[in-house]
Amino acid sequence: MLSTCADPKTLEGLAWLMCYLTSGKHLLFYLSFGTVILLLAVTAPVALLFGFGGALASRSRITPLRWIGRIYTSMVRGVPDIIFFLFVPIALDQGFEYLRAKVYCDPGAPIRQGNDFVVCAAAKLPLSTADQWVHQAYGLFLAVIAFAIVFGAFASNVLYGAMNAVPKAQLETAEAYGMSPRQVSRRILIPQMWTYALPGLANLWMILIKATPLLFVLGVEDIVYWARELGGAKTAAYAFPHPDWRIYYFLGILVFYLLMTWGSERIFDRIRFRLSAGQATMAGEAMRKTAI
């Protein structure tokens, strides 16, 4: 906070705007951009991991494992995202607290009391005494899990398709050279599938970026929450009264999302170029021809 901003009611024009844009509330707004980027940075690898697990399970020779992989991909993809986003965090939270209650609480006390879900103080997660940031981090953690489960299912389908797209002849040749199935996967299948998986994964990344406003549904204070909160008309109860400015805030968010997707598009183009080199795909063939 700037010292000149002590009494905003006396300020005008640019000075007022400067003070307005550096108010504590706006700093929280700016920080929430970090929350969104953090969520993306954590969710993408976790979702990819889920997807990888799902794809490998779907291809597994062990029947029950194959069923699990198939059920996971088809079930999660078939249910509206928002239902998962509402269900997973609540279910996880109550599940954790239920388990903790079994360990820490008096076993005689009922957990379900009519409508209420009550565990003893020691089993609360996070504890009631924990700092607010712990509660927020925990909320974000649940959000990451929910996102990863949903996007993992889509990624799993993309990777499954990509693995099937790798020419069978190559895998059989590797086998003929005496590689074990695990070696075939690690040395031939996985390095080659990326070029087929990339378009699908790039698509998913774009959708993931666009899905981050769902954080707001999960109670995490993201940029959409703050834009709505800051943009709404403010009466003199606030230090900086102003009319309805939501349109400007939402415009700012729009620019942010466009920049994010535009930037990712460029990065994906470079990765695509590198992955296509030397591949027997159309893109790889085109590169070979221009190189001659």
Partner 1 sequence: MKKLMLAAAVLALSAGIGAAQTVRMATEGAYPPYNFVNDQGKIDGFEIELGNELCKRASLECTWVKNDWDSIIPNLVSSNYDTIMAGMNISDERKKAIDFTDPYTPPPPSAYMALTPDADIEGGIVAAQTNTIQASHVAETGATLLEFATGEETIAAVRNGEADAVFADKDFLAPALAESNGELVWVEGHDTVELGEGIGMGVRKSDGELKEKFNTAIQSMKDDGTLNALLKKWFGEGAVQF
Q: Is 25 in the site for partner 1 (CB under 8 A)?
A: yes
Asked if 236 is part of the footprint of partner 1 (rule: CB under 8 A), the reply reads yes
- For the stretch 64-70, contacts whose Cβ atoms lie closer than 8 Å and that sit 24 or more positions apart, written own/partner, are 69/156
Q: Taking CB under 8 A as the rule, does residue 239 contact partner 1?
A: yes
For residue 8, the one-letter residue type is P
> What is the rounded distance in angstroms from the CA atom of residue 28 to the CA atom of residue 35?
10
Alpha-carbon torsion angle 274, 280, 283, 284, nearest 10: 50
Kindly state the smallest distance separating residue 262's Cβ from partner 1, in Å. 30
Residue from 68, 90, 190, 283 that binds partner 1 (CB under 8 A)?
90
- Of 145, 146, 86, 93, whose CA–CA distance to 124 is shortest? 93
Decide: is 116 part of the binding site for partner 1 (CB under 8 A). yes
Query: Backbone phi, then psi, for 178, in 5-degree steps?
Result: 95, 15
Nearest distance from C-beta of residue 238 to partner 1, angstroms: 6
Beta strands at 116-117 and 112-113: parallel, antiparallel or unpaired: antiparallel
Told to check if 3 binds partner 1 by CB under 8 A, we report no
Residues 6 or more apart whose CB falls under 8 angstroms from that of 204 comprise: 47, 151, 154, 155, 158
Q: Which of 18, 21, 99, 267 binds partner 1 (CB under 8 A)?
A: 99
User: Looking at beta carbons only, is 1 or 17 nearer to partner 1?
Assistant: 1
Instruction: Quote the least distance from Cβ 210 to partner 1, whole Å.
Output: 21
Nearer to partner 1 among residue 23 and residue 35 (C-beta): 23
Half-sphere exposure of 121 (CA within 13 A, CB side): 3
Q: Is 94 in the site for partner 1 (CB under 8 A)?
A: yes
Per rule CB under 8 A, is residue 107 in the interface with partner 1?
no
Site for partner 1, rule CB under 8 A: 1, 8, 23-25, 27-28, 46, 49, 53, 90, 93-94, 96-97, 99-100, 103-104, 113-119, 121-122, 124-130, 132, 135, 138, 141, 145, 219, 221, 228-229, 232-233, 235-241, 244, 246
